[in-house]
Structure 1
């Protein structure tokens, strides 16, 4: 009889121990040490300890029934040895469905659950190990990109300094050419005035008038006729067409012939202006460089030469300043703390978007984990399109997915080695796996 009592006592202790431990994590076991009373974890009530896990809810927070489904707010802890432990709602305990991979939630049901924690843990560990390998490779590639980014940054800075020096040199040349052009124009103006003033200028003018008159006077009889004007004079904009008789008469002042004196005050003025008629294929015609004073032709050529050189220097100066401006804009962008994102500049990954760069929009701990593009094309019956790009760690740089969770608001997953963070590796694999 004494032996039976001892055995019964041992079995009862086993039942109590099983009841109080089921559904409890190791960190909460201190609250369930067997004693005369049990204090609800929220401190709201004290109950006899035998009421713990008795399938009746006494505590408002459900802490007295961690291993049963009695409390609506209760939680059951799946130990899941070999895999990830987690909580499930207590309503799922003994409901005939296996929620814990170690089958501990169906300890008193008809369900025949298999312990799958080891297999799940193996897959989880393989995935985590793969992630760690990806992280290692990504960090190595990131370091290469950082080194390339630093070199490229220094190269662009050097290029900017060279362009700025070139701009300074061109500015000096520009000022010099402007002065030379101004001086050439001044000499040309002075030469023109000198030719027009004084007896010498008048003799040159008369000599030119006489020379042109003799050129037009084919038969050298001292007068110009309609036939001679038609033979030697042409329209500026239609040189191939022969002047009509009426047009020739009009040029001769309404008559059919003209002497030197009348020529000087009529047709000569028309030819000098050169806006309506000219002498056919004649190098010495008025208005052409060959027909002017030799000194005037020289200063005119000099002025044209200086004007051409000035234009070339102005164009070169403008081009260099445009290159400086473009390079400064590129260098003003935020390419990360170590210029690791510089390699993405001018790169295209086959995704056509119209949004403009907005900002880095990651968390305070990792500012460069997200990019925002704003002010895109107007959306139908809505605002402008925008895109948020989330950067994830990977060994390749590629666009992985594009989603539109709300109208004209896009979310993209962009994988790149520069998104790999060393801090991720410190977490390692969960100690309970």
Structure 2
């Protein structure tokens, strides 16, 4: 059995050359160059996972001995084996070992079909040329993009310096305007002292006048109500006289008892002074005049001189009396409302002048205060811009306060850098927030290749919308694609010079052989 393994090794595994009588191993088929040192014909072979050591003759004997398949790099014996395509002149590659000898040319140099009659054209040179052309196109793109990127960085440095200078100027202006505001506030305070004194004096006089008027009218109401109740004219209001006014029965039991009336009067009868101090305020809001008894009008006779069509005339005085009798007596509360609704008299000329002076100081104070708030807002906005992370060199500074749109069939997608992103329906309806600026989330080697927008509008029975923006090199700032790979999670591809790579731009255009 041993000679057969040797023959297999000699036939399928090794290329050899004879030099001065010495046999030299040149290459072992299917093994990466970096691993050749693990395959020494004069020593037993240890599986690369360390699980087993076998005679070297077992390597590439078309029988899988190692669990990791490393003893059969040049055959299809191991299902998990890997065959290395050297692909000289192009890029070395690994293919599954079961592709070896299957009649299909998988390696561009055809080395995977060394044991078959399949004729494989060596396409490595053409692939190398194509790859080199693609790399050169990328290099040219990055070179042009880096040139624009440098312009952005240069402008960023200047703009950042200008913003900081502007902030310093505004802070100096703010200090000056705040001092001015303090002066205006003091002038306003001084002007408002005599103004308030004059207004208080005016109000006090007006309150006194209203109090006098209210007292007069209240006294009139008391006398009028007392006279209306004193039906027998004895200058007293008795239980019998008040008991007729059942509207004063507040317990609504349909009976206004003597005891209830006595509780209101405080005795069997009261005079005017007692009515004023004890009774009036209790009944004034509910009291109503009793209707006057009416005298029936006789039917006209046939021999009457009045014609049937002539109406019976009522004198104006009678109408007024009837109307007066049916009108409830005005109460003190009604009068109080009337008094408070009265328009106070105009201020005197001296008070008007004091008000005008105070108004002017208030206007000047408000104007200066508005300037203070405006300067503070400007400073806050500029500091926010200065503090935005726009890349290590400021390469993304051109995005500040900029929005970009992408049109597709149903929607317009709009991203405002470092702010928010929206989905705008073309068929009408409100905008949908798909995220608000959160952070840079690119790979460790360059986090500035991806940004994240989160906490957008919540999907129906789903999560909050979010957007991931991936940047790649381009000559212009533009969105080239927007998709929704997962529900409510949007992905945007954005081309920009800011993402172009200096190393790629400076890379050599000559072809180099790369081996895995």
Contact persistence 1:153–1:339 (CA under 8 A)? no
1:386-401 to structure 2, matched below 5 A, reads 386-401=466-481
> TM-score, normalised on structure 2?
0.58
> Per the alignment, in what secondary structure is the counterpart of residue 71 of structure 1?
coil
Give the C-alpha shift of residue 189 in structure 1.
4.7
Q: Deviations over 1:236-291 (max 9, x none)?
A: xxxxxxxxxxxxxxxxxxxxxxxxxxxxxxxxxx9xx9839xxxxxxxxx627xxx
Give the C-alpha shift of residue 191 in structure 1.
6.0
- Quote the residue 2:140 is aligned against: 133
- Quote the residue 1:70 is aligned against: 77
Contact persistence 1:96–1:109 (CA under 8 A)? yes
- Quote the residue 1:411 is aligned against: 491
- Quote the residue 2:53 is aligned against: 45
- Quote the residue 1:275 is aligned against: 343
- Quote the residue 1:378 is aligned against: 458
Partner residue of 1:90 out of 78, 84, 97: 97
Give the C-alpha shift of residue 21 in structure 1.
2.5
- Paired with 2:203 and 2:478, the residues of 1 have a C-alpha distance of 77
Cα distance 1:424–1:388, how it changes in 2: closer, same or farther (>3 A)? Answer: same
- Quote the residue 2:425 is aligned against: none
Partner residue of 2:183 out of 173, 176, 183: 176
Partner residue of 1:26 out of 10, 30, 33: 33
Partner residue of 1:187 out of 194, 199, 220: 194
- Quote the residue 1:218 is aligned against: none
Cα distance 1:192–1:111, how it changes in 2: closer, same or farther (>3 A)? Answer: closer
- Paired with 1:195 and 1:406, the residues of 2 have a C-alpha distance of 73
- Quote the residue 1:59 is aligned against: 66
Is 1:311 the counterpart of 2:344? The answer is no
Give the C-alpha shift of residue 384 in structure 1.
0.7
Cα distance 1:93–1:196, how it changes in 2: closer, same or farther (>3 A)? Answer: closer
Is 1:358 the counterpart of 2:438? The answer is yes
How many residue pairs get aligned? The number is 334
Give the C-alpha shift of residue 29 in structure 1.
3.0
- Paired with 1:16 and 1:180, the residues of 2 have a C-alpha distance of 102
Contact persistence 2:128–2:511 (CA under 8 A)? no
Contact persistence 1:37–1:48 (CA under 8 A)? yes
1:291-302 to structure 2, matched below 5 A, reads 292-293=348-349, 295-302=350-357
- Paired with 1:13 and 1:423, the residues of 2 have a C-alpha distance of 46
Flag structure 1 segments of 5+ consecutive residues without an equivalent.
1-11, 198-269, 277-285
Is 1:163 the counterpart of 2:218? The answer is no
Instruction: Select between 120-129 and 130-139 the one with higher mean Cα deviation.
Output: 130-139
Is 1:320 the counterpart of 2:375? The answer is yes
Contact persistence 1:361–1:368 (CA under 8 A)? yes
- Paired with 1:124 and 1:337, the residues of 2 have a C-alpha distance of 31
- Paired with 1:138 and 1:193, the residues of 2 have a C-alpha distance of 74
> Per the alignment, in what secondary structure is the counterpart of residue 63 of structure 1?
coil
> Per the alignment, in what secondary structure is the counterpart of residue 169 of structure 1?
helix
Give the C-alpha shift of residue 179 in structure 1.
1.6
Contact persistence 1:274–1:287 (CA under 8 A)? no
Aligned-residue RMSD, C-alpha: 3.1
Give the C-alpha shift of residue 48 in structure 1.
5.0
Cα distance 1:310–1:72, how it changes in 2: closer, same or farther (>3 A)? Answer: same
Cα distance 1:110–1:168, how it changes in 2: closer, same or farther (>3 A)? Answer: same
Give the C-alpha shift of residue 343 in structure 1.
1.2
> Per the alignment, in what secondary structure is the counterpart of residue 349 of structure 1?
strand
Q: Deviations over 1:98-151 (max 9, x none)?
A: 111111111222433211111111010111112222222222222211111111
- Quote the residue 1:337 is aligned against: 392
> Per the alignment, in what secondary structure is the counterpart of residue 152 of structure 1?
helix
- Paired with 2:505 and 2:180, the residues of 1 have a C-alpha distance of 59
- Quote the residue 1:242 is aligned against: none
Is 1:17 the counterpart of 2:14? The answer is yes
Give the C-alpha shift of residue 360 in structure 1.
1.4
Contact persistence 2:483–2:491 (CA under 8 A)? yes
- Quote the residue 1:148 is aligned against: 155
Give the C-alpha shift of residue 42 in structure 1.
4.2
Cα distance 1:171–1:92, how it changes in 2: closer, same or farther (>3 A)? Answer: same
Partner residue of 1:287 out of 346, 369, 390: 346
- Paired with 2:96 and 2:13, the residues of 1 have a C-alpha distance of 23
- Paired with 1:64 and 1:196, the residues of 2 have a C-alpha distance of 109
Contact persistence 2:181–2:369 (CA under 8 A)? yes
> Per the alignment, in what secondary structure is the counterpart of residue 134 of structure 2?
helix
Contact persistence 2:44–2:53 (CA under 8 A)? no
Give the C-alpha shift of residue 13 in structure 1.
6.3
- Paired with 2:458 and 2:369, the residues of 1 have a C-alpha distance of 40
> TM-score, normalised on structure 1?
0.68
> Per the alignment, in what secondary structure is the counterpart of residue 101 of structure 1?
coil
Cα distance 1:65–1:157, how it changes in 2: closer, same or farther (>3 A)? Answer: same
